[in-house]
Amino acid sequence: MAEKKKIKVVWLCHFSNSFVHERLHLRINPLIWVIRKLFRRSLSLEVPEFANWITNGIKEFEKIEEVELHIVSPYPNLKSSIQEFTYNNIHYHFFLSEEYMLFNFIYKNIFHLSSYSFSRNRRIISKIIKRIQPEVVHMFGAENPYYSLGILDVPKETVTIAQLQTLVNDPDFAANYDAGPEIYKYRANVEYEIIQSADYIGTCAQKFRKIIRDELNPKAVLLNTTLALQEDVYVERTEKKYDFVYFAVNIRKAADLALEAFGLAYQQHPIITLDIIGGCDTEYKQVLDGIIMKYGIKDAVTFEGILPTHDDVIAQIRKSRFALLPLRIDLTSGTIREAMSNGLPVITTDTGEMGTQKLNVSRLNALISPIGDHQALADNIQKLLNDDQLAETLRENAIQTRLEVQSNKEIAKWYVAVYKACIDNHKNNIPLPKEVTELL
């Protein structure tokens, strides 16, 4: 009997994990090394693990025989333009993003990439996809133009799915975006173009669906697809070294909000401590140092920097009693989910009824205050410090909630079903099943 033909699928995405990092050949251009040193930027080849939902999904697709999965992703400081390998039935295609080439690196540091076409990246992505000849290109993260623009060049006969990780065109995102209006406008325009052009848009966020339908593309075909967000749940107690932890791959997200609230709470509890995990640029670190000086909390705050692996981050956050994780622009965050999965009571900010308010729909999982209200955030810090029973309730509820999350295995199997339905719809005009498009 002839072997059943596999569905060829490309994931166009950006991620890193220790497995990938160890298998790629990296180097820093000597001139870029000099420029980084002058600008006091990191000189390390280490890339922190991020976008763990991609890693989670890949692990599940290693076990799925009916799909031939190809990962197409940018990576910094590659020795060659493209590096490829296959492992456990997954085909990896990494390319050197033009941001890390000499001319573009200089341009980015002087002018910012606020209107950049990424034509070289798009040519490389197009070349790889043309060689693979997939039936589906599933792109994760329309807000990242350095690779997401590649979906615009996919041949029309190929199914294109734009999976949303956030929505830049959400007015709440715009209100809290802190990288400048020109860069915001550029990213929002790229996202808009992708939402207009992709065959299907994947998101289960009702808020995003409404904005897309009402404002961005009334004709968009929306898919009931989400990210592989299940994390291992740890119920064992561990010895604590710090009171609070704030962590993110790039702490620029909201470490200043955490420090402001911590500084206010410190005035009432001058023995508490805060551990900060993640990286940032020199300019932002100076902002954080200013907040530390304002409140006199230098000895109470520890900066860990970027830790090598996701496991290292998890081990470090478990050394804290509580997670102080304010948000600016995310509906919710991977850090909140990871803190909950590790039994850390969470303090965060209000990102609306489709965001962090959903954390407390079925049970109390987090203490929530308005974005930018440092005193309200500090008050929630004091609530946890003063009420051991509240802390224990949050811990137990969070673990229970995380145990109820849809498994990554189920999500991967659902992806396969959606791919098949989209191929039938795209090629043979067979209507998509109701469960593929509607939130049930």
3-class SS letters over 277-338: EEECCHHHHHHHHHHHHHHCCHHHEEEEECCCCHHHHHHHHCCEEEEECCCCCCCCCHHHHH
Examine the domain organization and report whether 412 and 397 are in the same domain.
no
Identify the residue with better confidence: 238 or 38: 238
Examine the domain organization and report whether 139 and 259 are in the same domain.
no
Whether the predicted pLDDT of 425 surpasses 80: yes
User: In this predicted structure, what is the pLDDT of residue 404?
Assistant: 83
Examine the domain organization and report whether 122 and 80 are in the same domain.
yes
Q: What is the pTM of this model?
A: 0.86
Examine the domain organization and report whether 248 and 222 are in the same domain.
no
Examine the domain organization and report whether 105 and 184 are in the same domain.
yes
Examine the domain organization and report whether 254 and 367 are in the same domain.
yes
Whether the predicted pLDDT of 286 surpasses 60: yes
Evaluate whether residue 1 is within a structural domain: no
**296-302: long-range contacts (C-beta < 8 A, 24 or more apart)?**
297/259, 297/262, 297/263, 297/266, 300/262, 300/266, 300/270, 300/272, 300/273, 300/274, 301/259, 301/262, 301/273, 301/274, 301/276, 302/242, 302/273, 302/274, 302/275, 302/276
Among the listed residues 315, 347, 360, the one whose alpha carbon sits nearest the alpha carbon of residue 246:
347
Examine the domain organization and report whether 426 and 278 are in the same domain.
no
Evaluate whether residue 126 is within a structural domain: yes
User: In this predicted structure, what is the pLDDT of residue 1?
Assistant: 47
Q: What is the number of domains present in the chain?
A: 2
Evaluate whether residue 361 is within a structural domain: yes
Q: What is the pLDDT of residues 181-204, one digit of tens each?
A: 888 899 999 999 999 999 999 999
Examine the domain organization and report whether 70 and 191 are in the same domain.
yes
Evaluate whether residue 350 is within a structural domain: yes
Write out the residue range of the structural domain in which residue 396 sits.
Answer: 242-403
Span of 88-92, 228-232, 251-255, 340-344 with lowest mean pLDDT: 228-232
Whether the predicted pLDDT of 327 surpasses 60: yes
Evaluate whether residue 427 is within a structural domain: yes
Q: By the 8 A CB rule, do 9 and 68 touch?
A: yes
Examine the domain organization and report whether 330 and 354 are in the same domain.
yes
Interatomic CA distance for residues 38 and 105, integer angstroms: 13
Whether the predicted pLDDT of 358 surpasses 70: yes
What's the CATH code of the domain at 54? Answer: 3.40.50.2000
Identify the residue with better confidence: 424 or 111: 424
Interatomic CA distance for residues 141 and 5, integer angstroms: 29
Evaluate whether residue 109 is within a structural domain: yes
Q: Find all residues with CB under 8 Å of 119, minimum gap 6, and list them.
A: none
Which residue is it, tokens 């900060």?
Answer: 276
Q: What is the pLDDT of residues 119-147, one digit of tens each?
A: 999 999 999 999 999 999 999 999 999 99
Examine the domain organization and report whether 207 and 276 are in the same domain.
no
Examine the domain organization and report whether 62 and 117 are in the same domain.
yes
Evaluate whether residue 235 is within a structural domain: no
Examine the domain organization and report whether 328 and 379 are in the same domain.
yes
Evaluate whether residue 26 is within a structural domain: yes
